[in-house]
């Protein structure tokens, strides 16, 4: 009985760590949603942002009326962790990265300036898989 309880706890722990339940967003579906809502989605070059340009799931840049954001996609959650770590490693020392770097699932959002709630909602509302 004790062995069964240990196995049940272990199975629950694995499931809680993202054993398949996490959403995986894609560049194509997310960009299509933004374009459909009237937001222009542009490419990201390695000169502008080499972290985003090397994202395994692709990336795009969006200009909003009062801000801009680069959205990078990892093909997996681990890839998104790597994007997050790269942005933190290569940031300028005078940049408050925690204020402009946001994550939802496998999507990393690097904002030009502190994002307003409406801007965040525009982007996250179109993160699609």
Residue recorded with tokens 């694995």: 14
Burial class (CB in 10 A: 0-12, 13-18, 19+), 72: buried
pLDDT score, position 112: 96
Domain-embedded: residue 88: yes
Q: Is residue 16 part of a domain?
A: no
Beta strands in the chain (DSSP E): 41-42, 59-64, 67-73, 101-104, 107-111
Looking at residue 49, its pLDDT comes to 94
Which pLDDT score, from 0 to 100, does residue 126 have?
97
Q: What is the pLDDT along the chain (129 residues), one digit of tens a residue?
A: 444 333 333 333 333 333 444 679 999 999 999 999 999 999 998 888 999 999 999 999 999 999 999 999 999 999 999 999 999 998 888 788 999 999 999 999 999 999 999 999 999 999 999
Q: Give how many domains the chain has, as a whole number.
A: 1
6 within a domain of the structure (yes/no): no
Residue 26, domain member (yes or no): yes
Token pair for 28: 């194509």
Residue 110 lies in a domain: yes
Residue 4 lies in a domain: no
Q: What pLDDT does residue 52 have?
A: 96
The set of residues, in sequence order, having a beta carbon less than 8 Å from that of 99 and lying 6+ positions away, is: 114
Chain centre distance of CA 30: 11
Task: State the pTM of this model.
Answer: 0.81
Q: List beta partners, residue 46.
A: none
Range of the domain at 71: 22-124
Over the range 96-105, which residues count as b (16 or more CB within 10 Å of their CB) and which as e?
eeeebbbbeb
């Amino acid at each position: 009985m004790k062995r069964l309880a240990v196995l049940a706890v272990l199975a629950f722990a694995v499931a809680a760590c993202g054993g398949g339940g996490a959403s995986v967003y894609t560049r194509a579906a997310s960009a299509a949603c933004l374009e459909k809502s009237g937001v222009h989605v542009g490419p990201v070059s390695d000169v502008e942002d080499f972290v985003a340009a090397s994202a395994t799931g692709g990336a795009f840049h969006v200009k909003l009326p009062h801000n801009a954001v680069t959205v990078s996609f990892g093909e997996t959650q681990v890839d998104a962790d790597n994007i997050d770590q790269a942005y933190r490693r290569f940031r300028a020392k005078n940049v408050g990265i925690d204020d402009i770097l946001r994550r939802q699932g496998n999507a990393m959002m690097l904002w030009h300036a502190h994002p307003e709630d409406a801007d965040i909602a525009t982007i996250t509302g179109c993160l699609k898989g």
